[in-house]
Structure 1
Amino acid sequence: MEPRFNPSVNTQRHQYVIDFVKTHKPKKVVDLGCNDCSLLRKLKFHRAIELLCGVDLDSASMKKKMRELAPLPTDYLQPGASPLSIELYQGSVTQKDARLRGFDLVTSIELIEHLHLDAVERFTEVLFGYMTPGTAIVSTPNVEFNPLFPRMPGFRNSDHKFEWTRAEFQSWALKACGRYGYEAEFTGVGQAVPHLHLRVGFCTQIAVFRRLSRGGGAPASSDDSGEVFSYKLLYSVSYPSLCDNNVLRGCLVSEVLYWAHQLSRKRMEDGDEGWSHTEPETEPTGDPRETSTLREYEFEESVFDGEGAPGWEDIKMTSRGQLESYRQGRYVCVPLRRVWSCCPRVRDLSGSLARLRLFIADDPLVRLSQDGFAVVLDEGIHVLFLYSLIKRLRGAESC
């Protein structure tokens, strides 16, 4: 009976790489023979990766899907803690390019069988002798499995130049290990029924190469004296990250305004009881000579600027302090410390209340009381607030 795979063998191959990335968290990854970028489109969500590259000779295949590697709107709302850059190159895997040297992980999924055997030798030298990755994952069809596909007349794909047995694949891999200073382990995906598996092996065979310490194997390629750039850059994009102060400020502003409006709305839903009112009914200035009310909402700065994120029960207030919102005319003032106490993400992003004030003070979307202790909201601008955030997001997305 012809084997049926669920999920497909291609999905299983990609999942093997994804599981490896989840476990080992490489920062620099390149997929050789990336075709339509399907593996790259899955790997981009694993933000331990800081540089993700793809190489293929067929530029048309990459161009069909490469725009799907661009950041999503959620990447601007929830940027990663570390940067991510994605680059696509048109070029042959038998040619050298200095931009792809020293990666943590190189993947070559169902590629080598599309090369003539003399090109496989050049590919082996480029991969292990020139690129020298920390780890390489190479997969190829297992020809011993083919008899289980009775309707298959020859190779699995008309473009395949060869398909290896398990012994042939392992012989190639171990020869490369001995020459270039790697070790390999062998596995695969796509199992036959149990009583056949030992006889035919996996549908796709996989070798995982790990580079040994310096000193083993052959030295790097002899033409290292000059850098080689043989690939054509087709696509490059950088994702927003919290390493960028402008992105960090945007996230903080969005979080602070969201929580300030939520807290303000909750106080309005609770009714007038418990509201603190101050005079005059104009926009608060924070000048202590005009009103002493704002001074009543000051807190001990040391509580919020130390290590760790305080919970509600940990907050210590002065005898005159409170954490509730208060009104001044048609304006609602939400103490920053109230926002701080309700939003762990604000604490994580800013690190301290003083740093939080510094980040948001000059942002055009934020109105602070003059002393900087409260976010000032107009009760009638909730819709305008949301519109402003959407406009900011769209502006970031188009950058």
Structure 2
Amino acid sequence: MSKETKAELTESDGSRKLEDENSLGDVKFYPPLYTQRYSFATKILEKHGVKWVVDLGCSECAVVRFYREVPNLQKIQLVDIDRETLDFNKNRIKPRPSDYIFKRTNPLSIEIYEGSATSLDKRTVGCDAVSMIEFIEHLYPDILEKVEENVFGQLQPNLVVVTTPNYEFNSLFPGELRFRHYDHKFEWTRSEFQSWCQGVCEKYKYAVEYTGIGDPPLESQQVGFCSQAAIFTSSSQSKPSVESKGNCYCLVAESTFPYKDKDTLSVEETLKSEVSYIINLLTRNHQTMDFDQSCLCVQEDDKEQMEIPVEHLMFFSRISKLVKTDDLKKFLQDSGYQLTEDQTRVIIPLEDDWEDRYGSEEESEMDTCVEDSNENSYEAATSCVIDTEEIWD
């Protein structure tokens, strides 16, 4: 990429980092709004069965923690012009230890590229979807027009997800009415955003649906969502023949995730792996598990041990899909686990070297994210801690 191209794009200075609506005062979001935006985009990708997504303006690559959990996704490409930030965060795309235990049923490759969103790299041609999360407001109008042409005119994915600040919401923040970040080149009202979206649809033959992220207070419903979102869809099944300059992006890092066929392991082998992982997860987090007093830590012969209700293991969908409660109890006994006399709890000795054996507390939090988000599942209670370092957009 030329120096001239770098000079004309302002997202290259890393200024998008540390941008968080919660820091603006008064109105607070929980979970943080950046987390809600990533979750929103992830659900859209899953709903549309996307297998290949390109995220433009990825900055710190934080969205990959969410996208990698979409079962159907087989390729994730992250693109940004800020090489320093990409180099610093490139390890985010590496498989976690748990990914080698609980292998995906579909292959997944993740690639990070340094490159301009205005340029067409042939390695992105053919993608199903493009996401631009809080990205377009960092572009000057002439640069945004080039990005539109690249995404909607040349890549032409079936799905494009765009989020951007809703300027009307800014009236709820303290102080004078202003943009949320010094690097924003614009912040649109809802009518301005929808006008831009309609122009895109008319020019490139897309349909659009409007929604948003970040509910306003009950007394201020008139301002709309904090972030406005547009979901562009195309019904065209044929991909146009486009001419690319070749590999104009620079590959920064790539990772390939382990995966397996569904029939590779027997039910018993799968259950053994699931039970072992979940018990280890619960045990090594025992000091912070004050949300449920039914998991007991007791002293027995001067040794600390933990008693986990068998029913709680059944709350994990990965176990309950494989076995019923009585069969799980028999499996635990046959596998050498000790149960209480009434057979309602499994007894696990606690050791001092859990971190050395199973990883740090931070790794444990990331592993907890691997569990699916079934709202009836026990893992939903073991909420994943999101790093505050990600509050940039």
TM, length-normalised to structure 2: 0.59
Q: Deviations over 1:238-295 (max 9, x none)?
A: 11112599xx5xx67x949x79xx9xxxxxxxxxxxxxxxxxxxxxxxxxxxxxxxxx
TM-aligned CA deviation for residue 68 of structure 1: 2.3
TM-aligned CA deviation for residue 176 of structure 1: 0.6
Structure 1 letter corresponding to 2:34: N
Q: Which residue of 2 aligns with 1:230?
A: 248
Following superposition of structure 1 onto structure 2, how do residues 317-332 of structure 1 map, counting pairs within 5 Å? none
Answer yes or no: is the 8 Å Cα contact 2:103–2:260 preserved in 1: yes
TM-aligned CA deviation for residue 79 of structure 1: 1.4
Q: Which residue of 2 aligns with 1:85?
A: 109
Q: Deviations over 1:97-141 (max 9, x none)?
A: 121122222110010110000101001001101111110100111
Following superposition of structure 1 onto structure 2, how do residues 1-399 of structure 1 map, counting pairs within 5 Å? 2-151=26-175, 154-198=178-222, 200-213=223-236, 224-242=242-260, 255=269
- Cα–Cα, structure 1 residues 13 and 225, in superposed 2: closer, same or farther, change >3 Å? closer
> Over alpha carbons, which structure has the higher Rg?
1
How far apart are the structure 2 equivalents of 1:10 and 1:155?
A: 17
Q: Which residue of 2 aligns with 1:283?
A: none
Answer yes or no: is the 8 Å Cα contact 2:120–2:245 preserved in 1: no
Q: What SS is found at the alignment partner of 2:105? A: coil
- Cα–Cα, structure 1 residues 175 and 87, in superposed 2: closer, same or farther, change >3 Å? same
Q: What SS is found at the alignment partner of 2:63? A: helix
Answer yes or no: is the 8 Å Cα contact 2:93–2:254 preserved in 1: no
How far apart are the structure 2 equivalents of 1:226 and 1:14?
A: 30
How far apart are the structure 2 equivalents of 1:159 and 1:203?
A: 18
TM-aligned CA deviation for residue 151 of structure 1: 2.8
Structure 2 letter corresponding to 1:202: F
TM-aligned CA deviation for residue 23 of structure 1: 2.5
Answer yes or no: is the 8 Å Cα contact 2:56–2:130 preserved in 1: yes
Q: Which residue of 2 aligns with 1:333?
A: none
How far apart are the structure 1 equivalents of 2:218 and 2:38?
A: 23
Runs of 5+ consecutive residues of structure 2 not aligned to the other structure = 1-24, 277-322, 324-330, 336-357, 359-393
How far apart are the structure 2 equivalents of 1:101 and 1:236?
A: 18
Answer yes or no: is the 8 Å Cα contact 1:129–1:220 preserved in 2: no
Answer yes or no: is the 8 Å Cα contact 1:181–1:212 preserved in 2: no
TM-aligned CA deviation for residue 172 of structure 1: 0.8
How far apart are the structure 1 equivalents of 2:51 and 2:209?
A: 22
Structure 1 letter corresponding to 2:211: T
* Worse-superposed segment, 172-181 or 40-49: 40-49
How far apart are the structure 2 equivalents of 1:10 and 1:112?
A: 15
- Cα–Cα, structure 1 residues 182 and 2, in superposed 2: closer, same or farther, change >3 Å? same
Q: Deviations over 1:283-322 (max 9, x none)?
A: xxxxxxxxxxxxxxxxxxxxxxxxxxxx9xxxxxxxxxxx
TM-aligned CA deviation for residue 24 of structure 1: 2.6
Structure 2 letter corresponding to 1:92: S
Answer yes or no: is the 8 Å Cα contact 2:122–2:244 preserved in 1: no
Structure 1 residue ranges, 4+ long, deviating more than 6 angstroms after superposition:
none
TM-aligned CA deviation for residue 44 of structure 1: 1.1
Q: What SS is found at the alignment partner of 1:16? A: helix
C-alpha root-mean-square deviation of aligned residues, in Å? 3.2
TM-aligned CA deviation for residue 33 of structure 1: 0.7
Q: Deviations over 1:350-376 (max 9, x none)?
A: xxxxxxxxxxxxxxxxxxxxxxxxxxx
Structure 2 letter corresponding to 1:232: C
How far apart are the structure 1 equivalents of 2:30 and 2:245?
A: 45
TM-aligned CA deviation for residue 225 of structure 1: 4.0
Answer yes or no: is the 8 Å Cα contact 1:31–1:40 preserved in 2: no
Q: Deviations over 1:199-230 (max 9, x none)?
A: x1111110000013369xxx958xx3455321
How far apart are the structure 1 equivalents of 2:181 and 2:229?
A: 18
How far apart are the structure 2 equivalents of 1:226 and 1:133?
A: 16
Q: Which residue of 2 aligns with 1:290?
A: none
Runs of 5+ consecutive residues of structure 1 not aligned to the other structure = 263-310, 312-338, 344-389, 391-399
How far apart are the structure 1 equivalents of 2:161 and 2:235?
A: 15
Structure 1 letter corresponding to 2:175: R
Structure 2 letter corresponding to 1:195: E
TM-aligned CA deviation for residue 190 of structure 1: 1.1
TM-aligned CA deviation for residue 153 of structure 1: 5.8
TM-aligned CA deviation for residue 46 of structure 1: 2.1
Structure 2 letter corresponding to 1:45: E
TM-aligned CA deviation for residue 91 of structure 1: 0.6
Answer yes or no: is the 8 Å Cα contact 1:14–1:39 preserved in 2: yes
Structure 2 letter corresponding to 1:239: F
Structure 1 letter corresponding to 2:80: D
Answer yes or no: is the 8 Å Cα contact 1:110–1:138 preserved in 2: yes
Q: Which residue of 1 aligns with 2:7?
A: none
